[in-house]
Structure 1
Amino acid sequence: MVGVKMNRTYFKATIREISQSMGKFISIVLIILLGSLLYVGIRSVGPDLNQSANHYFKQQKLSDVKVSATIGLTNRDLTSIKQTKQVKTAMPFHMTTLQKSRSQIVSVYGYQKQASLDQLKLVSGKLPRRANEMVLDHKAKENGYQIGDTYRLPKNDNLRRHTFKVVGFVNSPQYISSTDRGTTNLGNGTVNYFAYVPNQVFKQKVYAGIAVAFKNPNQYAAGTDKYNNYVDSQKNKLKKQLSKRPQERQKQLQNTAQAKLNRQKAQVVQQEKQLDKVPNGYQTAKTKAAKQKLTAAKTKIKQAETQIKAIDKPSYFYNERSANPGYQDYFDESHSIAAIAIIFPGFFLFIAILITFTTVSRMVEKNRREIGLMRALGYTKHEIAMKYIIYTLLAGILGAGLGSVLGMLTLPQFIFSLLTNNNLTQFVGVMPWSYLIEAMIAGLIATLGSALSVLMINLREVPTNLMRERAPKAGKRILLERITPLWKRLSFNQKVSYRNLFRYKGRMLMTIVGIAGCTGLILTGFGIQNSVDDLVPAQYDDVQHFQAIVTVDKANRKVHTDQISAQKEVLIKSVTARPTHGTANDTVTMVVPKTKTHFKQFVSLNSLKNGQSIELANDGVILSEKLATDMNAKKGGYVSLQVNGKRVRAKVSGVIKNYAGHWIYTTPTYYRKLTHKTYRATSRLIKTRQIKKTQRDELSRQLLKQTGVLNVSFPRYAASALSTGGLGSVVLIMIVMSGALALVVLYNLTNINISERMRELATIKVLGFYDREVTAYVARENVIFTIVGIVVGWGIGIFLHRFIMIKAQTGSILFPMTIHYPGYLWSALITGLFSLIIGILTHYRLKRIEMLDALAASE
C-alpha cells in the first residue's frame, strides 16, 4: 500500500512538474511537432503525388505504349500485336493534326464509345453520340469555345465531315499537363488543344497508331523505376514480335504499286498493238498524238519502276508514356520534391532533436537535488525515473504523434492543390508508415532518450552528492584578455559577457548550432527558389542566345523580317543516346551549324573545367553536361547514338555547361561521317531585337507568310519541360517552418540560459543593476551567439543547397547552383528578428526575478 501511495504521490508530482513548467513542456512538444510535421509531410509529398497520378491512370486506363509507323498501321499489325504473349489490350485509333486557323493547331482523334484504353474524363457537358457531335479539350475554353457552338475544321482528305456541334469538354490521360499539347510541323510548331469526333467520321484506310496495355503492370506504380523497366522489357518483346512487319509492309507496298503498274503496262501494250496496225501511209494527226501519249506513258512507267524500287521499309515507333506531353514533367517534379525531402526535413528533424535533447537533459540536471532527496526518502531508482519517463514520453508522443499526423494530412494535399500545371484533380494519399515510425522514434530519442541518459549518470551517485549543487565552473582567462590594448578598452559589462561566453562552452556551442541550423535551413529554402527561378535565364541567356527556331523546306531558303537581327543556318535533328550500361535512353537534340563562323553569337560552348570556349571539331561531337553524366561519357571517349534509325558511335570532343535539355553539337563534316547522309541545313537559329509576346506573335505571323517556312518555335517560352512550380510551394513551406523552428529554438535556449543563471542574475540585481542593464547583460551574449550562428548558418545553407539541388536533378534538368544576396539578407533578418522578439520576452521575464528567492534557491 505504501508503494501504491508513493507512486500516486509521485505521479501527482509529475503532473505538477508539467503544469508548473508548462512553457517548457509546450516548447519541447512544439519543437518535436515542427520537426515531425515537416519530416513526415514533405517526405510524403513525392509518394502521394505518384499515387495520385497512378490512380488517375488506372482509372482512365492509360496505355503503356503507343505503336505507330511512318505510313500508318493496318489490321495485320493489330493482329500481330494482339498475338504478343504479354499484351493485355490493344486498341487502334485514328488521329490527324490540322491547322484550324493561323493561331490554332488542333489534334483531332477518333472517339470510341467503348474505348478499352485512354478513356476520356468528362469535365462538363456530355460525350459524342451522333456523327455531328464532338468534344473539345478543356484547354480549348481559352479560345472562347462553349458548349453548343458550331465548330468547323478545315477541309481535308481524312474526315468525311468538317462541321460539328460542341457537346462537352474533356481531359485525356494522354495529356497530364494542363498547358502542353505537344508539337507539330504545322504553324508555329505547337498544338493548342485536342478534339474528339466520332470514329466513323474518319475515312483513313490505315490507323494513326495502336495503343497497347501490357499484362500485370498494375503491380508497379507509374513513374517508378520498376514500372519503367517492366514496360521497357515488354516493349522489346513487342518489337521482336513486329520485327518482320517493316519488310512485309515494304513488300506489300511494292506489290500494290507493281500491280497498278502492271495494269498500266497492259494498257500501254494494248494501245501499242492498236497503233501498230495502222499503216504508215494512213497515219493522221490523231494517230501521231496517240503515239506521243504512248511515249509519255512509257516514260512514266519507267519512272514508276524506279520509284517502286526506291520504296523504303517503313519505320515503326514505340512511344512509352514518357512521350505523352506533361507526363515526364510531372514525375520529374515529383522526384525533385522527393530529392529535397531526403535531406532537408532530415536536417530539420536533427536540429529539433538536438535542441530537445539539450532541453530535457538540462531539465533533469536541474532537478539533481530533488532526485537526491527522493533517493534519501527511500524511493527506488525506478520510481524516481518514472516521473521523467512519463514527462518525456508524453512530450515525445504528443509532439511526434501530432506532428506526423498533421504533416501527413496537410502538407501533401496542400502542395498538390498548388500544382496548377497538370490535369489531376483527385488527391490520393499513401499511408507513410515508415516515415511515421521514423518520426516517432526520433521524437522518443530526443525526449525519453535524453532523460534516460542523464538519469543513468545521476542515479549512480549517492544521495548526499546529488543534494549538493555542482560547483560552478571556474573562470579562466580567455584569448581576448591576452590582447591587452583591446581588453583595456572594454567596459566591465563587456568583459563579463565575453568571459561568460567561453566559460560555458557547451551552452555556447548548442546555441550557435541551433541558430546556425535554422538560418541554414532558411537560406537553403531561398537558394532552392533562386536555382529554380534561374534555370530558364541560365539556359537561354548564358548558353543559348537565340530566340527562335525556323524550319524551312529547302536548305537555301532565306527568311527575313525587320525584327531579325541575325540568323544562323543549321541542321537540327532529334536523335537517341544510349548509355554503355542499362536500358534507359535519352532523347537528344543534335545541332549542326553550316559553318563555325559567328556560331558563338548563338550558342556558348563553354568547357566545364575552365569555362573557356570550345571549338567545334571535325573529329567528334560536343555533349551537354547532363547528357554526358547520363551516358557516362567523357572527353576523348565515345557515346552511342541512334541517328536516322541506325546506331553509330560518336567520339566526344568536349563537354559543355548546359542547364536544360540534352544537346549535341558537331560539324557538317563529322555529321556526314557518322550518318553517311547529305547535309541539309533546313533550320535557322534566329536572334531578334524585340522578344515580348506581341513581338513574338507578330514575328511568327510574318515568317509563316513567307514561302517555304514550315514552322516557327520559341524554345524559351515553350519550355514546359522546365516547369518546376511544385518546388515553389515546397520552398515556401520550408522557409515558414524553418522560421517557426528558429523562433521556438531561440525561446527554448534562452529559457535554459536564464533558468541556469538565476542566482547570477539575481546577484547582479542585488548589486544595483537596473532592469535594462540586466537584460543587456544577457542580450549581449545572445547577440554574439546570433551573429556567429548566422554566419555559420550561411555555410550550412550553402552546403545543404548544393547537396539538395544535385539530388533534385532529373531528366534533362541541371539546376544552377545560385543563391542571391537577398537570400542571405532575409535569412539573417528573419533569425535576427526572432532573436529580437525573444530578447523582448526575456526582458519582461528578467524583470520578474525575485532577488531574495533566487539567491536562497540553492541554499
Structure 2
Amino acid sequence: MKQSTYLKASLRELKQSKGRFLSIMLIIFLGVFLFVGVKAAAPSLQYSANQQLSHQQLADIQLISTAGLTKKDEKILNKMTDVLVEPGYILYYADTKKNQVFELLSYNQEDQLNQLSLVAGHLPKAADELVLDAKAQKAGYQLGDRLTIDLTDDLKQKNYRIVGFVQSPLFVANSERGSAPVGNGSVDYFVYLPEENFKADVYSALYLQDRQLADLPVYSKDYQKKVEKRVKQLKKALQPRSFERLNEIKSKAQQPIEQAKAKLAIAKQQLTNAQQQLTQASEQLKQQQAQVQLLPEGVQKQAATEQITTNLAQLAQQQQALTQQQAELQANEQTLAAQQSKIAALKAPKYLFYTKDENAGVKSYIDLTTQIDGIANVFPVFFFFIAALITFSTMTRMVEENRREIGILKALGYSKLAISKKYVLYASLATIIGIVLGTIAGSNSLPLVINLFLKSTYIFNHLHLTYDWLAVIQATIACFFASLGAVLIVLVQELHAKPASLLLPKAPKPGKRILLEYIQPIWSKLSFNQKVSYRNIFRYKSRMIMAIIGIAGCTGLMVAGVGLKNSLESVIDRQFGPIVHYQGLVALNDSEKQSFQEVDQILADNKKVHETTQVYLQPLEVKHADEASQSVPLLVFNSQKAQRSFLTLNRLNTTQALDLPQDGVIITQPLAKSMQLAKGDSLTLTNSEGQDFSVKVSAEANYYVGNYLITSKQFYQKHFAKSYQPNALLLKTQTMSKKQEKQLSKALLATNKVSNVTLITGQIHLQKQMTENLDIIVIIFVVLSGMLALVVLYNLTNINISERIRELSTIKVLGFFNREVTMYIVRENIIFTVLGILVGYGIGYILTGFILNQVAMNQVVFPIVIKPLAYLLAGGMTILFTVIVMMITHFRLQRINMIDALKSNE
C-alpha cells in the first residue's frame, strides 16, 4: 500500500512538472538526434554507394597501356587467381556542329563488369543501336533520335539510333565526364556502342575484378591496402610483357619497311641495268659518230650525222630521267632509314593502373562523406556535451528542490532505495524516451536529408539506412550519466542527511560585497534593482557559470556552423588571385620547338590570352617515412621573374616571399599536412622510369588547393642530371565565357601537339560544388544549435525561477510591478546572454579550426575564415531566443501564487 501511494505520488510529480520533464527529454532528444544522426550519415551514404557500385560490378582495376592492350595481356591477367578480366574499347568523337565531345565505349551484353543502369528505353540489341548518358536526356536528346558518329577509320558504321539512356558506374559524378584529346578537351556525354562496331585490333582497356575484394567496402583502408597489393602483382606480372610488346610493335612496324626495302632493291637493280644499257647505247653512238666523220662530204654523211645527233639527245633525256629516278630512290632510302631510326628509338609501353577508389567520381564522393564524418567527430560531440551539461544541471536542481519531501519520506520510514526510485524513474523515463526518439529520428532523417541534396550531384539514388550502434551506445552512456548520474550524486548527498535537517530549508548563501561595489563612481549610479541583480549574479556563481557555459556553447555552435561554410568558400578567394595568377595550363606532347611555335601562334591570335610562360611539368611518386606514397607533379620555372608573375609563393603562415630554391624543393601546404612534412625533411621521388631521387624540403608555401613540388631550373638540371626542356605553358587570360574556353581548348587540341588543357575555372567549379554539397550540413547544425539555445535558455531561466520563488513572491508582496519582477530575473539573463555570446565567439572560432582540421583532405586545406555575418547571426539568434524566453518568463511570473510560495517551508 505504501509503495502504491508513493508510486502515485511519483506519477503526480511527473504530471505537475511536465514542463521540466519535456525540457529534459527535448535536450536529450536534440543531443542524440544530432550526434547519432550525423554519425550515421557518412556510414549510410558510404554503404549505399558501395552497394550500388557492387551491384553494378564496377571493376576494381582499370588497366590502360600507352600502346594498347592485346589478347596476350588479357591472358596474363587471366592466369591470376580470383580475378575476372574483361576487355573494352574507348574512342572520342567531337561533334563540331554542336561543339560537343562524346566518349565512346564498347558494350557487350555478355560482360559482367561495369553494368549499366537503365533510366529509360532498353540496352542495344542491334549493331546500329546505342545508349546515351542519362545526362544527355536532360539536355534534349530523346529516344529514337539518330546520332551520327563519323569515325570511318575506327567504326564500321556512322549512323546510330538512341534506344536508351543509362547511368554508368564509371561516371559517378553527374557534373564531370573527364577530359578528351579531341574537340574542346572536355567530355560532354558518354556513349555505349555494340562491341562489333569497333575496328581496332588492340583493346583500349582491360577491366579487372578481384574476387578477394568482393566483401570489402571501397572506402575502407583494408580495401585500399589489398587493391594496392594486387596492383603490385599486376605490375610484376606485366613487366616482361612490356618489352615483349615493344618487340611486337617494332616487328609489326618493320614489316612494311622491309617490304619497301625489297621493292627499293629491285628498283635499284632495274635502274642499274637501265644505266648499263644506256651507257652501252651511248658508246655505240659515239663509235658510229666516229665512223661517219670518215665519210666524204655529201648527203649521206649529213643524214647520218643528224640521225646520230637525234639519238644522242634521246640518250641524254633518258640519262636525265635515270638520274631523277636515282635521286628519288636515295630519298626513299633516307625515309626508310629515318623510319628505322624512329622504330629503334621506340620505348617500352607503359601500363597504367586506375583503381576503383581512384575513379574521379568515386573519390570525390568518398572525400565528401569523409568530410561529413570528420564534422561528425567534432560538432555533434560538442553539441552533445552542452546538452548533457544542461541535463545534469536540471536534474540536480530537481532533486534539491524536493529535499523536504525526501526528509518527510525518511521520517515516515521509507528506505533510501524506495525514495530513490521516484527520481531514478523520472530521470530514466525522460532519458530513455529522448534517446529512443533521438536515435530513430536522427538515424532515419538526417542521412535522408543529406542524400536528398546529393542526388543531383551523384548517381547514387537509393539510400540504405544504417544505425551507428557505437554512437548510440556512446550517446546512451553519456545521457544516463548526465541525467541518472546527476540524480544519484545528489541523492547520495541528501539521503545521508538527517530528516530534521532535510525538513528545514537550506540556509541562503551569505551576502558578500562584490568588486563592483568598490568602484563607487559606477556603483553609486546604479538603481536598487540593478544592485540586487549584480549581487545575485556573483552570489550564485555556479548558476552564473552554468548559464554562461550553456549560452556560450550554443552561440559557439552557431558561429562554427556558419564559419565552416565561410571557411570552405574562402578557399577560392584565397587561392585563385592572391596565390595563383594564371588561368590555364597547356601540357604538350613533346618538348620540340616546333610544337611550342604552333601552340604559341594560336595563343598569340587569341585576344583573350595576354601572357604565357614555358615551364617543365613532370608527375613523380613521392615517398616519405611511413606515409602513403602520393603522385605529385614537379613544377620547374625557367626564372624567378616568371615564377612570381604566375605564382606567388610565401612562406607558410607568413607574407614572406620565397625564392626558387637552389638546394631543394618548395612543397605546398596540403602536401606538407597530408605527409607530415616540414622544412629540412628528405623526400624520395620516383619518376616514370623507376629512377629514385632524394631531395630536401626547402620550404613550405601557403597554398590551399593542390599538391606541388616547385623548384628552379638550376636545381633541376643539377640534381636530376637532365637539361631543362619545357613541356607545358601557363596562361594568363582575361575572363572568358564557357564557349570561349571551349573554343580555345579545341584550337589547341586540334594541333595534335597538346595532350591536355586545364583551365582554372574547372577547379573553381569543383570547389564550389564541394562547398554546396556541405551546405545542408551547415543548415542542420545552425538550426539545431538554435533550437538547443532556446531550450537551454528556457531551462536555465526555469531553474533560476524555481530556486528563487520565495524571493520573487516576497518582492511581489512588497508591491513590485509585474514588469519589475520580470526584470528582476531577466536582467540577470541579459548579462548572462551578453557574456555567453562574447565567450561563444571565442569558442566558435576554436571549434571552427578544430573542425577544419578534421575535414582537410590530401589535396585541400581550409583557412579559418569567419565573416562578421556569422557572429551577427549567432549573436542575433541568441538575443532573439533570450527575448522569447523573457516573454515566457513574464507571463509565468504573473501566475505565481505568492501565498503558497511564501509558506512552502512551513
TM-score bucket (shorter structure): over 0.9
> Which SS does the other structure have where 1:115 is aligned?
coil
* Residue 384 of structure 1, aligned match among 408, 419, 428: 419
Structure 1 residue runs without a partner (length 5+): none
436, 451, 464: which one aligns with 1:401: 436
What is the Cα deviation at residue 588 of structure 1? Answer: 2.5
How do 1:545-694 residues align onto structure 2 when only pairs under 5 Å count? 545-551=581-587, 554-556=595-597, 557-558=600-601, 559-560=603-604, 563-564=607-608, 566-571=610-615, 573-582=617-626, 584-646=628-690, 647-691=692-736, 693=738
Provide the residue aligned with 1:843 in structure 2: 890
From 853, 871, 876, the counterpart of 1:806:
853
CA distance in 1, matches of 2:353, 2:741: 35
Task: Please name the residue that 1:465 is paired with.
Answer: 501
Instruction: Give the aligned partner of residue 400 of structure 2.
Output: 365
- Distance in 2 (CA, whole Å) between partners of 1:91 and 1:444 is 56
Check the 8 A contact 1:64/1:212 in 2, yes or no.
yes
Is 1:325 paired with 2:360? yes
SS for the counterpart of 2:774 is helix
C-alpha distance in 2, partners of 1:272/1:699? 50
Q: Deviations over 1:255-281 (max 9, x none)?
A: 333344333333333334444444232
Whole-angstrom CA distance in 2 between matches of 1:467 and 1:173: 73
Who wins on radius of gyration, i.e. which is larger? 2
Q: Distance in 2 between matches of 1:631 and 1:485?
A: 60
What letter matches 1:763 in structure 2? T
Per the alignment, residue 453 of structure 1 pairs with: 489
Post-superposition shift, 1:358?
Answer: 0.6
Instruction: Give per-residue Cα distances to partners, 1:334-360, cap 9 Å, x unaligned.
Output: 001100100111111111111011101
Indicate conservation of the 8 Å contact 1:67/1:210, yes or no: yes
Asked if residue 110 in structure 1 is aligned to residue 106 in structure 2, the reply is yes
Alignment of 1:391-430 (within 5 A): 391-419=426-454, 420-430=456-466
Deviations 1:225-269 (A, max 9, x none): 111111011111111111111111112222333344333333333
Contact 2:614 2:728 in 1 (8 A): yes
Partners in 2 of 1:201 and 1:703 — Cα distance? 30
3-state secondary structure, aligned to 1:244:
helix
For 1:278-317, what aligned pairs fall within 5 Å after superposition?
Answer: 278=274, 279=276, 280-282=279-281, 284-285=318-319, 287-317=322-352
Residue 678 of structure 1, CA deviation: 4.9
Is the partner of 2:905 in helix, strand or coil? coil
Partner of 1:731: 778
- The answer to whether the 8 A contact 1:137-1:171 is kept is yes
Cα drift, residue 145 of structure 1 = 1.5
Structure 1 partner of 2:311: none
Paired residue total: 854
Deviation digits for residues 563-611 of structure 1 (CA, Å, limit 9, x no counterpart):
5363231335351332223473323333333333253232111110432
- Give the C-alpha shift of residue 138 in structure 1: 1.2
Asked if 1 retains the 8 angstrom alpha-carbon contact of 2:585 and 2:757, the reply is yes
Partner of 2:133: 137
Deviations 1:781-818 (A, max 9, x none): 00000000011111111111100101101230111211
Where do 1:199-278 residues align within 5 Å? 199-278=195-274
1:561–1:781 CA distance, 2 compared to 1 (3 A): farther
Q: Does 1:855 align with 2:902?
A: yes
Query: Over aligned residues, Cα RMSD in angstroms?
Result: 2.2
| Residues 587 and 180 of structure 1, relative CA distance in 2, 3 Å threshold | farther
1:64 deviates by: 0.8
> Which residue in the other structure is 2:833 paired with?
786
1:717-796 matches, within 5 Å, as 717-719=762-764, 721-722=766-767, 723-724=769-770, 725-796=772-843
Residue 298 of structure 1 aligns to a residue whose secondary structure is helix
Q: Which residue pairs with 1:46 in the alignment? A: 42
Deviation at 1:150, TM superposition (A): 0.8
Q: 1:239 to 1:704 in 2, by over 3 A?
A: closer
| One-letter identity of the residue aligned with 2:528 | F
Other structure's SS at 2:42 match: helix
Unaligned ranges ≥5, structure 2: 282-314, 590-594
How far apart, CA to CA, are the structure 1 residues paired with 2:186 and 2:863? 28
Instruction: From 19, 22, 33, give the equivalent of 1:23.
Output: 19
In structure 1, C-alpha distance between the alignment counterparts of 2:763 and 2:569, rounded to whole Å: 16
Aligned mates of 2:86, 2:377 — CA distance in 1? 41
Q: 2:544 aligns with which of 508, 517, 540?
A: 508
Q: Please state if 1:88 is matched with 2:75.
A: no
Using the alignment, how far apart are the partners of 2:424 and 2:184 within structure 1?
Answer: 70
> 1:811 is matched by which residue type in structure 2?
N
For the 8 Å contact 2:564–2:848, the answer to whether it is kept is yes
Alpha-carbon spacing, 1:306–1:689, altered in 2? closer, same or farther (3 Å): closer
Query: How far apart are residue 707 of structure 1 and its match?
Result: 10
1:569–1:681 contact (8 Å) kept in structure 2: no
What TM-score do you get using the length of structure 2 for normalisation? 0.91
1:531 aligns with 2:526: no
Q: Which amino acid aligns with 2:887?
A: I
Query: Match of 1:344?
Result: 379
Q: Which stretch of structure 1 is more off in the superposition, 822-831 or 139-148?
A: 139-148
**SS in structure 2 of the partner of residue 374 of structure 1:** helix
Any conservation in 2 of the 1:618–1:667 contact (CA below 8 Å)? yes
- In the TM superposition, 1:152-231 aligns within 5 A as 152-231=148-227
Cα 1:458–1:391 change in 2 (3 A) is same
Query: 1:46 Cα shift?
Result: 1.1
CA–CA distance in 1 between the matches of 2:704 and 2:871? Answer: 24
Indicate if the aligned counterparts of 1:396 and 1:446 stay in contact, CA closer than 8 A: no
**Contact 2:131/2:193 (<8 A) preserved:** yes
What residue is the counterpart of 2:370 in the other structure? Answer: 335
Q: TM-score when scaled to structure 1? A: 0.95
Identity in percent: 38
1:19 and 1:609 map into 2 onto residues whose CA distance is: 59
1:79 aligned to 2:75? yes
Instruction: For 2:340 and 2:587, locate their aligned partners in 1 and report how far apart those are by CA, in whole Å.
Output: 32
Does residue 151 (structure 1) correspond to residue 151 (structure 2)? The answer is no
Give 1:708 deviation, angstroms: 6.6
Distance 2:428 2:191 in 1: 60
Q: CA offset at residue 90 of structure 1?
A: 0.7
Q: 2:182 & 2:264 partners in 1: Cα distance? A: 41
- 1:650: how far off? 3.2
Question: For 1:212 and 1:857, how far apart are their aligned partners in 2?
Answer: 80
